[in-house]
Structure 1
Amino acid sequence: MKLKILLFWISYLIALSAVGAAGLFIKKSASDFKASEGILVVVMAVFVLEAGRRYGSRHSVAAAVITAAAGVIFFFPLDIIGLSAVFVLAAVCAAAYVPVKALNDYNETLKDTDRKLEGRKEYLLRVKNASIKRAKQEDDQTEREVKEILPLYGAIKELSRAIKIGEIAEIIVEIMKKTIKNGFKIELEQVSFALIIKNDAGYKVQSSFGYDEEFLKEGEKALVQSVLKNAAKGSDIVYKQDISTEKQAAAVSIVKSVVYIPFYAENQLKGVLFLSSPKPALFTDKQIESLKILANQIAITLEKVYLYEEVEKMSVTDGLTGLYVHRYFQEKLENEIKRAARYGGNMAIVMCDIDFFKTINDTHGHLAGDQILKSMAMILKNNTTAVDTVARYGGEEFIIIMPDTDKDAAHARAVKIRKAVEAHDFRYKELHIKVTISMGVAVYPGDAITRRTLVEKADKALYKAKEAGRNRVVKAG
């Protein structure tokens, strides 16, 4: 820009000199000097206009002043130039300046408007780019949230099909693996979790992932107590991002972040999902919110499963004794015979009958008889294993299924039960009632290979025990 201005003024001075030289030449060759005045006015007016158009009013004013001064210098000393010529020249220069000034102001206004428009354009472009960026970020966030929600949606559908505690435990483990890996994009090697569910015996580890089986076997009780201590304080998820400084971290020094997810139904703690990781702050706040959604659905499903199992239990258990009913026994016996046949094992049944039960009812009343039946059921359950099935066969008769048990072992266990009954102090109110039991033992496949025949064999052995004097155990054969 400075170079252009310099060139302009050089051109201006050259033109001014040329006009002055032309004026001197005309003075010598003509008596009238008006021609040189006209040349000066026209040429210099062009430069004044051009100065204003290109470089602003300051240069236009300077060109006009210099032009006027040059006119005085060139022509005023000459005799032939009149004073009127000077005034004409000044008027012409002034007339040239006025439109130039107006044109320059108009140009400045246009330039200022252009600058404002350009600034507005840049601002709108920045707003547009920011809006596009924000929209893209929101789209990306929505996409991430959808990807996290989809596994949860699938999980809820899977949970709705569970009707057994065992089923729901397996489903929860698979759901957690899918959610953590596919939804949260976290490597499964960084996470371990244990599902603790409440049953009749209390809270137990129902299923787990990432924990050593030997560790769970030896430390299950301590783990359950620690988890319940942290999870039973409220219904919300407890997320500790780093427990390395806490006392309990000393037992498992590699654990940094832990999550306790309680499952409440009807204001009762039904279970807890415990997650741990050697990495601190493993989960984001958004992921914890997703886990809350999942926890609520698991709690609802657990409530449904508990209700289903309670109804099912009511349909297969005797209301008085709490033992399985006759129908369930028959189904269970059929399944155990098939299993023994498939794997080539033994299976025993022991039929039991309370001695002189009718006399007890007639002497002390049916309420006393009911109390004897309930006490007998308790003795039978306390003297059998978890794999055994104890049922009320009918009236004062009971029957026990002993899987993977031969005749001698079944007889020995039956003798132990008989002695426990004989030694028990049966009471009804202030009464002490002496009670004994007779038992018959039969085994598959040694005594029978069908359900009906096996029960008949055990019943005949029981009849022989009663014929022999009661309060004894007789083997079929």
Structure 2
Amino acid sequence: MRRITHVAYTWLVIGLGAWVLARLFSFLDLDYGRHFLVFIVLGVAAEWLAVNFPHGQMSGGFALVLATFILFDAPAAAWTGALATLISQGILPRGNPLRTVFFNAAQHVLAVMAGNYVFHRLAGPAGDRFTVELAAGLLAFSGAYFLVNHLLVSLYVAPRRSLHPLHSWWDALRWDGFTCLFSIPTGLLMAFMYREAGLSGVILLFLPVLVIQFVLRLYVHMELANRELLALYYVARGLNQRLDVQEILDLVLKETRRVVSYHSGVIYLWSEEKRYLEARAAVGPFRDKLHKSVVFSGEGFTGWVVENGEPEIICDVREDPRVRHEPGLFQVLRSLMVVPISADTRRVGVLVIGDKRPFAFNENHLHTISVICGQAAVAIANTILMKRLEESANTDGLTGIYNHRYFTYRADVEYRRTRDAGLPLALIMLDVDNFKLINDRFGHVAGDAVLVELAGLLRDAVGEAGVVCRYGGEEFAVLLPGFDPAQAGTLAEELRRLVREHHFPVEGMPRQVRISLGVAVCPRDAVDVGTLVQRADQALYGAKKAGKDRVVLYEQLAELPR
């Protein structure tokens, strides 16, 4: 529906412009045809050197429009401007579709006529002796022209505005305002010079306009380049923070939109264990499906890019034989950009973004996104390395679960968190019954195998409900945030039965192992972490003393026989 409305609006403006031009033709004084031709040629030069940007263009051609209006009235200004636009953008094409060329010419005609209406309301016919009223009328003409021009163009580019995140309508208004600083006085001077020196004076005076326009082109390009650098700055600043891998990937997808708009995007990271790239972050309507996708190095176009290490742009999937039969995003989007994420010579992953428009991405986009991916690659590699170092420092070397050091840190964190939230914190301390006998009779290798098997059993049984740590020797600790005494006691009993019924695959010894467990809970049994550990240990000792292979809650100690 939005597209139909936009097409209808475009052709409505074109139709009105053509109708107005046809009505104005009879008012042209063709005796000045040679003069009109010179103004048209100068207008073509101004339009050809105009600074184009997504929401419009910046041109000094208004100086010619104003001069023509003063000298020959509105019909000449409308016709010369429209013909200059059609020739410069149509016959000498700038890459615009034909409907855009017609629209630009038509909106110029409507803007001139709007300015003409305002002018005659204030000052009377153009060409009168210079008076205050005439000056006010010319300023009103200029203001009305720019206002109508921006309104029509803004509505025309509105559907595509989100496709250019680095540019805004305010930019177009501000940059076009620069042209007012020299176009209006230059137009007045050109009209004066025409009356004093003829066409030669107009031509000589218009040359500086082209020079100024060229300088403004450099300024605009520099400002846009600075915005791309600013996007890179935001990425660098974000990556300097202490982020996990997922936060880095989300940041890359977010900041990429500062540079270029896209429909869908996904980042794959290399998995050393699985030996392929798996989707770790995705945005867009296909987010859920993309999260399930994988890429094998060297297979398909994306895998080839990863293997080759060079970024690639697919301008139009339907026209590029390399990807015409590729599955996934290549079947639903027209343009794609595939950028490897590499740190030094080590592959980290790959970014794939796509859009439904053909030719949505260019080399400037590719360069900037490649820099972003390079920054992200270093941050990801460093984060993974730091995570591995932290895991190594916090992991028990024998069993692979958390060690005593991590237990001390995590218990303090969970105690503060549950206390502030008004929740209980339970602790289960457990150890293997008669473990010294296992070591003495079957050897330390068998004893270590029992601990490894038991650690995996506890970790899988507790899952995300708690934190399982090796406290020391054959003793284990299970932190249970949010568990009250009854819940903690029930889980402890389940663990005891699970271990009792489990057959430990340790060669040379009986397949069954028994454990004893003690349970304490904050704030019922303790008011700090140190006391909580002490009370859980006392409950464990009570379970040992009461015959082993059982669960004892700290609150039950008084009921046990002494």
Q: What is the TM-score with the length of structure 1 in the denominator? A: 0.61
Q: Output aligned runs, 1:87-126, within 5 Å.
A: none
Q: Alignment identity in percent?
A: 29
Q: What CA distance in whole angstroms lies between the structure 2 residues aligned with 1:439 and 1:230?
A: 56
2:314 to 216, 221, 240: 240
2:515 to 420, 437, 461: 437
Pick one of 235, 245, 250 that aligns with 1:155. 235
1:290-301 equivalences under 5 Å are 290-301=368-379
**Does residue 533 of structure 2 align to residue 455 of structure 1?**
yes
Distance 1:314 1:249, change over 3 A: closer
Deviations 1:264-321 (A, max 9, x none): 4476654443423333332112211221222122111111111111111122221222
Give the conservation status (yes or no) of the 8 Å contact 1:232–1:269: no
Q: Distance in 2 between matches of 1:407 and 1:144?
A: 63
1: distance between equivalents of 2:438 and 2:241? Answer: 49
Aligned equivalents of 1:200, 1:398: Cα separation in 2:
31
CA separation in 1, counterparts of 2:332 and 2:358? 10
CA distance in 1, matches of 2:311, 2:254: 20
2:448 maps to 1:370: yes
Find the partner of 1:175 among 255, 266, 270.
Answer: 255
Shift of residue 358, structure 1, vs aligned partner: 1.1
Distance 1:305 1:285, change over 3 A: same
Note if contact 1:380-1:390 (Cα within 8 Å) is conserved in structure 2: yes
1:404 maps to 2:478? no
Counterparts in 2 of 1:197-212, with a 5 A limit?
197=269, 207-211=281-285
- Partner in structure 2 of residue 86 of structure 1: none
The 3 A distance-change label for structure 1 pair 232 and 442 is farther
Q: Which runs of 5+ in 2 are unaligned?
A: 1-207, 556-562
**What CA RMSD, in Å, does the superposition of the two structures yield over aligned residues?**
3.8
Question: Are the equivalent residues in 1 in contact too, given 2:469–2:477 (CA < 8 A)?
Answer: yes
Deviations 1:162-216 (A, max 9, x none): 3532442454344324x32xxx4x4xxx53434455679977765554458xx63
Correspondence 1:309 to 2:309 = no
- 1: CA distance between counterparts of 2:328 and 2:473? 58
Counterpart residue number, 1:76: none
Structure 2 length-normalised TM: 0.52
Q: In 2, Cα distance between the equivalents of 1:461 and 1:247?
A: 66
How many Å separate the matches in 2 of 1:238 and 1:413?
54
Q: Deviations over 1:395-431 (max 9, x none)?
A: 1111111222233332332233223322333234555
Query: Aligned partners of 1:404, 1:205: CA distance in 2, in Å?
Result: 33
Structure 1 residue 444: deviation in Å?
Answer: 2.5
Query: Runs of 5+ in structure 1 lacking a partner?
Result: 1-127
Q: 1:241 to 1:468 in 2, by over 3 A?
A: farther
Q: Indicate the SS of the match to 1:258.
A: strand
Match of 2:334 among 256, 262, 275: 256
Q: Equivalents in 1 of 2:368, 2:357: separation in Å?
A: 20
SS in 2 for 1:427: coil
Structure showing greater Rg: 1
Moved more, 156-165 or 325-334: 156-165
SS in 1 for 2:398: coil
Q: Deviations for 1:234-256, whole angstroms, at most 9, x for unmatched residues?
A: 23335434447956778998643
Check the 8 A contact 1:371/1:428 in 2, yes or no. Answer: yes
Matches within 5 A, 1:276-291: 276-291=354-369
Figure out how many residues of one structure are paired with residues of the other and give that number: 341
Q: Report the residue type matching 2:292 in the other structure.
A: A
Seen in structure 2, the aligned counterparts of structure 1 residues 375 and 410 have a Cα distance that, compared at 3 Å, is same
Q: 1:145 to 1:341 in 2, by over 3 A?
A: same
CA distance in 2, matches of 1:416, 1:268: 46
Separation in 2, partners of 1:287, 1:254: 21
Q: Is the 8 A contact 1:231 1:238 kept in 2?
A: no
Which shows bigger deviation, 326-335 or 161-170?
A: 161-170
Q: What amino acid sits opposite 1:438 in the alignment?
A: S
Which SS does the other structure have where 2:505 is aligned?
strand
Contact 1:232 1:262 in 2 (8 A): no
Rate the CA distance shift 1:423–1:266 in 2: closer, same or farther, 3 A. Answer: farther
SS in 2 for 1:353: strand
CA distance in 2, matches of 1:467, 1:230: 67
Contact in 2 for aligned 1:163/1:304 (Cα 8 Å): no
Distance 1:220 1:431 in 2: 49
**Structure 1 residues 465-474 or 221-230, which shifts more?**
221-230
Preserved CA contact (<8 Å) 1:241 1:282: yes
Q: Partner amino acid for 2:469? A: A
Asked whether the 8 Å contact 1:263–1:298 carries over to 2, the reply is yes
Does the 8 Å contact 2:282/2:290 carry over to 1?
no
Contact 2:252 2:372 in 1 (8 A): no
Q: 1:248 to 1:444 in 2, by over 3 A?
A: farther
- Selected match of 1:222 from 292, 304, 308: 292
Amino acid across the alignment from 1:148: E
| 8 A contact 2:403–2:469 mirrored in 1 | yes
| CA 396–210 in structure 1, closer or farther in 2 if over 3 Å, else same | same
2:406 paired with 1:328: yes
Q: Deviation string for 1:82-117 (max 9, x for gaps)?
A: xxxxxxxxxxxxxxxxxxxxxxxxxxxxxxxxxxxx
Equivalent residues of 1:163, 1:308 under 8 A apart:
no
User: What per-residue deviation string (whole Å, max 9, x for no partner) do you get for residues 223-242 of structure 1?
Assistant: 45699976443233354344
Farther-moved stretch of structure 1 (321-330 vs 228-237): 228-237
Q: Report whether the alignment pairs 1:385 with 2:470.
A: no
- What are the Cα deviations for residues 115-161 of structure 1, in whole angstroms up to 9, with x where unaligned? xxxxxxxxxxxxx9999998876675555444323322442343233
Determine if contact 2:337/2:361 at 8 Å carries over to the other structure. Answer: no
